[in-house]
Amino acid sequence: MPGQPRYLSSTAVVLAELIKMVFSFGMLVQMHGFRDAAQTVRDCIFRAWKDTLIVGVPALLYLVQNNLLYVATTHLDAATCQVAYQLKLLTTAFFTVTLLKRHISVRRWLALGLLFVGVVLVQAPSATAAASTTSQSPVLGMAAVTFACLLSGLAGVYLERIVKRTAEVPIWVRNIQLGLISLLVGLVSVYTLDGEAVAAAGFFQGYTWMTAWVVFQVSFGGLLVALVMKYADNVVKGFATSLSIVLSSIASWFIPSFDFTPSAAFLLGSSLVIASTIMYSSIPARAPIAKIEPQPATAHGSAPLTLRVGGAHET
């Protein structure tokens, strides 16, 4: 905010994870009572510590992915990096097929292709404005963002696999397990990256009501992602993220300070994103089901059977 000091993003990450854990525990208390909720968390985290470590694997994959994105943005302009990062839509679908053994129809693969093209077109205007910076090593930057896409798809699908295969464990317990690992990693990041700043001006330096709102928004967004993994899948999450890019761009149009005007590429890309979402989520038409209708008995004592298929009769 104008006139306000910058807050430390590393501390915001820690607070977001802490809020998710507190909210998840509150949901367990509402469902089972405080004593049973505390016992469930204690059993799942400490007694079944191997399970917690397994849940920590995608958290570590996300950590490596984030570091690769830092490398990518060092060697690529922001717009190129952001567009290239949309490859995660396709890598997520690939790992969904290979790890979860889930079939994706040709129609849905086409929808994913349209989605990728649409997101690239939506972000094309920003790519033109940001192309003035000179990249140090474009090859290294593209390699980093490509591996980040692979890890993003792998981590998301791996976590979905854990959630789906252990459906008896409440999703709120999974949030606490994942949040605990992320919290420990986040605290290490605060100490490593911003330890001196925290010692000098405090953990909450630069925080305002707007900062608090952003942290809460990120926290509950993470909870929604967990619910999407449980009741849908990572591919659907990719579509939701792509739609959010379109919606945030439209919102930027109405904020004068952002100086954003939709171009023809943006309108075309937005149309492709919406069309691909409808195409992916629509239920394909099923073949008509044959029904056998008994007829009144004839003089010979047997009744002919009429086979009805989509409105036609066959005896």
Domain spans of the chain? 9-284, 288-315
Q: Please say if the pLDDT value at position 132 is more than 50.
A: no
Q: How confident is the model at residue 33 (pLDDT cuts 50, 70, 90)?
A: very high
pLDDT tens per residue across span 141-173: 888 888 988 998 898 888 888 888 887 888 888
Could you tell me the CA-to-CA distances from 117 to 90, 109, 122, 160, 242 in Å, in that order? 11, 13, 9, 26, 11
Average pLDDT, stretch 172-184? 86
Q: What contacts 247, CB < 8 A, 6 or more positions away?
A: none
pLDDT tens per residue across span 97-115: 888 888 888 888 898 888 8
Give the global pTM.
Answer: 0.66
Q: Is 235 helix (H, G, I), strand (E, B) or coil?
A: helix
Q: Please say if the pLDDT value at position 291 is more than 60.
A: no
Which element (helix H / strand E) includes 46? none
